[in-house]
């Protein structure tokens, strides 16, 4: 039985990865300091002998006894409301945490996959964004703590690959949605659904014409799993290339909640908020034979059904 360490295991994506790897027959070691994660996301795994959990901050020294075949580093605040509230922790987990885990991978001779983000492209001047684009990031703006933490994460991962021959993977994750997202995490989709279910105004920042591309979580997890098991070590976009304006998303969600008293409310656009976001997934299609399968309408229905149970 192979063993995988998943950091950020109690978070949105981390918990879904724990499920996938347990189901694939792996021994899963989950690690999380619960800064933004919740044990509710993984409590169903506690009775499974193939799952262990460590309450630990990876920005400190990381030790896992025994054999370790793979590491997936998903620990980090990932929504603006979180990383603006916790800028130092965000920078530390992207730098010190990544350094610790790369060191662990080197000692254990493990393959390691690092979770990067479309935010490395900043407010892009190229559209759609492919992996060769270097980005347009304000390093001292409010979003810089997350953007630059992830950019550093990529740089140190490539340094370990080139200097030490470490077996590395880098996934650039675009907007993803699904069950186990927090209603209060500040991202558009859970915010809109929560507001619609509570009959509150739908808070749109700016005029709502900025675009995003939303990938259902099951599709994303499949792409990550394939990337880990591929031979490709350079950064790869994983996301849904179907683009939609934020205003269109809000209107679609309103239609899905019949009887809601919610209306659209327009607010000032945050500093450095990206105007466009759309992945070029040519690499993923060609190398992984991967592309998203779940249509937005179906994914939104599944996600809304989840939020109805927690609102």
State the pairing for strand pair 211-213/243-245. antiparallel
Answer yes or no: are the C-beta atoms of 153 and 95 closer than 8 Å: yes
Answer yes or no: are the C-beta atoms of 130 and 188 closer than 8 Å: no
DSSP of 243-259: EEEHHHHHHHHHHHSTT
In sign, the C-alpha dihedral spanning 78, 83, 85, 87 is positive
- Farthest-apart Cα atoms in the chain, separation: 59
Does the annotation mark 146 as catalytic? Answer: yes
Give the active site residue among 26, 83, 121, 146.
146
Dist. CA 148–CA 91, nearest whole Å: 8
Dist. CA 41–CA 13, nearest whole Å: 10
Beta strands in the chain (DSSP E): 3-7, 27-32, 51-55, 70-73, 111-117, 168-173, 176-177, 202-205, 211-213, 215-216, 235-238, 243-245, 264-267
The phi, psi pair for 212, rounded to 5°, reads -140, 165
Residues acting as catalytic residues: 146
């Amino acid at each position: 039985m192979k063993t995988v360490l998943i950091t950020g295991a109690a978070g949105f994506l981390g918990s879904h990865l724990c499920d996938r790897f347990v189901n694939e027959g792996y021994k899963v070691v989950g690690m999380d300091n619960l800064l933004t994660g919740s044990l509710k996301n993984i409590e169903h795994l506690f009775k499974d002998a193939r799952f262990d959990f460590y309450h630990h901050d990876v920005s400190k020294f990381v030790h896992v006894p025994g054999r370790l075949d793979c590491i997936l580093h998903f620990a980090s605040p990932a929504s603006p409301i979180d990383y603006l509230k916790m800028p130092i922790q965000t920078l530390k987990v992207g730098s010190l945490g990544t350094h610790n885990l790369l060191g662990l991978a080197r000692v254990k001779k493990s393959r390691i996959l690092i979770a990067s983000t479309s935010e490395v492209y900043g407010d892009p001047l190229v559209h759609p964004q492919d992996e060769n684009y270097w980005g347009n990031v304000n390093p001292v703006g409010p979003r810089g703590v997350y953007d630059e933490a992830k950019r550093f994460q990529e740089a140190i991962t490539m340094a370990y690959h080139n200097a030490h021959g470490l077996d590395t993977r880098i996934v650039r994750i675009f907007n993803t949605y699904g069950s186990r997202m927090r209603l209060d995490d500040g991202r558009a989709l859970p915010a809109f659904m929560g507001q619609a279910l509570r009959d509150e105004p739908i808070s749109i920042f700016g005029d709502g014409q900025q675009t995003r591309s939303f990938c259902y979580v099951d599709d994303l997890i499949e792409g990550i799993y394939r990337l880990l098991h591929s031979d490709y070590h350079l950064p790869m976009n994983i996301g849904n290339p179907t683009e939609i304006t934020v205003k269109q998303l809000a209107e679609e969600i309103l239609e899905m909640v019949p009887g809601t008293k919610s209306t659209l409310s327009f607010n000032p656009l945050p500093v450095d908020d990206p105007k466009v976001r759309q992945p070029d997934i040519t690499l993923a299609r060609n190398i992984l034979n991967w592309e998203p399968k779940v249509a937005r309408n179906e994914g939104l229905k599944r996600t809304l059904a989840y939020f109805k149970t927690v609102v």
